[in-house]
Amino acid sequence: MKAALWERFWQKKATRRAWTGLKVFLFLALLAPLLANERPLVCKIEKQTYWPLFRGMLCDWNLASWSDALLPPTDWAEKKYDWALYTLIPYSPGTIDRAALGAKSPLEPQQVKTAQFRHWLGTDLSGRDLTAGLLHGARTAMLVGLVSMLVAGFLGLLLGGLAGYYGDTGLRISRAQLLLGLLFLPLAIFYGFLVPYSSGGMAWRILVFLTLLICGWLLGRVLKRIGGAGPERAFPIDSLVLRVIEILDTIPDLILIMAIAATLKEPSVYYIMAVVGLINWTRIARFVRAEFLRIKSLTYIDAAKVLGFSELRIIWRHAMPNALGPFLVSLALGIAAAILLESTISILGLGVRADQVTWGSIMAQLLGKHDLDWWLALFPGLAIFLTVLLFNTLGKGVREALGE
């Protein structure tokens, strides 16, 4: 069945193209620092050979330090080289070319050393190379999609799956389990997020939080096993999840994210993305819930129940693989939506640090300006358009392959 699905996915030309496009996008995004960098790949200074590009990466990770000849590690264009070999684009996204200040068009004559130093797509208002900005923007866009969908995918799969599989009557919990839940949830919140630990960051806090929740859950299971848990009642998890989804969907995401972005002390794309994920899981949860509702009425699930498989095993091994298709569809569409949302926020100038380059922040320079710097609108716009189109096409491809 899987093979047939794959074949149908491949059949369409548009999907195949989008698949290739995805590979190109990932290649550019992952290798952006290697493709566009102001540091030379290899250079010779006073008969010594240096590899500033790779050295710089090691330095960024604190694995090495700069050689004396290369200090200070700024103004790479001003250094005296015997000879130097640059990577494809000899500019970083933040490199300011003083000869090309104030938005130089790609068609204008430019004062550059060699043809390699030409700004092929022009420069922005502060003289930064647009090609380098676009490449690093692709990296930001990739991270945006990744981070937000990691959060949204986790929440959507978990809550949508639970709601769809158990419905309002399927999840039976005993009084003792309910009490344990009421005890351990506040405790997990307290020890996870309220206690002022002198060391350990957010990761440690999340770890404590999850550990305590799992402890409570395990304790409940043990109580149930030994039979000391009291009578069981149905827990209306479906209604609960639906209600939360309903509430979240009444708030326009853009307005909420704008408000959150503005309250942040240190604006960063990553915070925004986590928030996008925390809001956008509802779409995925709806998809997954609908799919689980359908799957649980299929006979093979009944068969698995009759065979005495544990619930976790049925959900994870039997129901989940069948819900994967719709999940992938909503994931692809969600990535497209997240990239659009992020570029909207950064074009408004919210949530992005000044030194972070995103496709939206390049275009933001045009707001309130009356010159027709067409390249600053065209190229980032095209990048956003193509990327969103790419993920929409992939989502559509999976959906059609599933036969919907």
Partner 1 sequence: MIWSYLFRRLLVIIPSLLLIMALVFGLSRLLPEDPVAALAGLNNEDNTLDEQSREQAYRQKAAILGMDKPAFYFNFQPAAYPDTLYRIPFKERRKTLLALLDQSGNWPATMAYYRTVLDLKAALRHAPDTLAVEQKAKILDIANALQYNSEKGEIEKQLQGLQAVKINDSALKPYLANATNNLQKAHQYWLANPKQGLLYQPSLRWQGFDNQFHDWLKNALKGNLGTSNIDSQPVWDKISQGLRWTLPLGLTSLLLSYLLGIPLGVMAARRRGSRFDRILNSTLFLLAALPSFWLAMVLLLVFTNPNLGLNFVSITALNYLSNDASWGEWFDKALPNLLLPVLCTTYPLLIVKVMQMRSSMSQELDSEYVRTARAKGLSEKTVVWKHAFRNALFPQITLFANLLPHIIAGSVIVENIFNVPGMGNLLFESLGVQDWPVVFGILIFSALLTMLGVLIADLLYAWVDPRVNLEETKTTA
- How far apart are the C-alpha atoms of 129 and 136, rounded to whole Å? 11
Q: Verify binding: residue 199, partner 1, rule CB under 8 A.
A: no
Among 108, 249, 302, 311, binds partner 1 (CB under 8 A): 249
> Residue-wise over 81-94: b if at least 16 C-beta within 10 A, else e?
eeebebbebbbbbb
Complex with partner 1: residue 156 or 192, whichever CB lies closer: 192
Tell me if 297 contacts partner 1 by CB under 8 A: no
Q: Which residue from 71, 194, 203, 226 is in contact with partner 1, where contact means CB under 8 A?
A: 194
Which stretch in 28-36, 48-56, 246-254, 297-305 sits in contact with partner 1 by CB under 8 A?
246-254
Say whether residue 290 binds partner 1 (CB under 8 A).
no
- 247 contributes a contact to partner 1 by CB under 8 A: yes
Tell me the C-alpha distance between 37 and 49, whole Å: 18
Contact pattern from residue 174 through residue 193 relative to partner 1, giving x for each residue in contact according to CB under 8 A and a dash for the rest: ------------xx-xxx--
Residue 160, classified by CB atoms within 10 Å of its CB into exposed (0-12), middle (13-18) or buried (19+), is buried
Q: Does residue 22 interact with partner 1 by CB under 8 A?
A: no
Min dist. Cβ of residue 103 to partner 1 (A): 13
Nearer to partner 1, 319 or 337 (CB): 337
Q: Coil, strand, or helix at residue 2?
A: helix
One of 28, 242, 245, 329 touching partner 1 (CB under 8 A): 242
Q: Which of 261, 252, 264, 250 shows the shortest CA–CA distance to 345?
A: 261
Q: Look-up: residue for tokens 């960063």?
A: 268
Tell me how far apart the alpha carbons of residues 220 and 225 are, in angstroms, rounded to a whole number: 9
Q: Which of 396, 399, 400, 402 is the binder for partner 1 (CB under 8 A)?
A: 396
For partner 1, the closer of residues 84 and 347 by Cβ is 347
How many residues touch partner 1 (CB under 8 A)? Answer: 52
Sign of the C-alpha dihedral computed for residues 366, 369, 375 and 381 taken in this order: positive
CB 186, min distance to partner 1, A:
7
Tell me whether residue 38 or residue 238 sits nearer to partner 1 (CB atom): 238
CB of 27 to partner 1, least distance (A): 21
Do residues 106 and 119 touch, judged by C-beta distance below 8 A?
Answer: yes
Closer to partner 1 by Cβ: residue 45 or 335: 335
The window from 65-73, 132-140, 217-225, 386-394 that contacts partner 1 (CB under 8 A) reads: 386-394
The correct pick among 108, 246, 302, 311 for binding partner 1 (CB under 8 A) is: 246
SS3 call for 350: coil
CA atoms within 13 A of residue 138's CA, in its CB half-sphere = 26
Q: Is residue 98 involved in binding partner 1 (CB under 8 A)?
A: no
Q: Is there binding between residue 250 and partner 1 (CB under 8 A)?
A: yes
Cα 126-131-132 angle, rounded to 5 deg: 75
DSSP assignments along 257-293, one per residue? HHHHHHH-SS--HHHHHHHHHHHHHHHHHHHHHHHHH
Measured distance between the N- and C-terminal CA atoms of the chain, rounded to whole angstroms: 16
Is 84 in a helix, a strand, or coil?
strand
What residues numbered 335-374 form the site for partner 1, per CB under 8 A?
A: 336, 340, 343-344, 347-348, 350, 363, 366-367, 370, 372, 374
- 392 forms part of the interface with partner 1 (CB under 8 A): yes
**CA-CA distance, 221 to 226, in Å (whole number)?**
9
The answer to whether 253 contacts partner 1 (rule: CB under 8 A) is yes
**Number of separate helices (H) and strands (E) present in the chain:** 14, 5
Question: Do 287 and 326 contact (CB within 8 A), yes or no?
Answer: yes
Residue 260 as a binder of partner 1 (CB under 8 A): the answer is yes
If the CB atoms of residues 74 and 250 are measured against partner 1, the closer one turns out to be: 250
* 121, 379 contact by CB (below 8 A): yes
- Name residue, tokens 């699930």: 301
Residues 259, 302, 305, 317: which binds partner 1 (CB under 8 A)? 259
Where does this chain bind partner 1 (CB under 8 A)?
A: 186-187, 189-191, 194-196, 198, 238-239, 242-243, 246-247, 249-256, 258-260, 262-263, 265, 336, 340, 343-344, 347-348, 350, 363, 366-367, 370, 372, 374, 377, 381, 384-386, 388-389, 392-393, 396
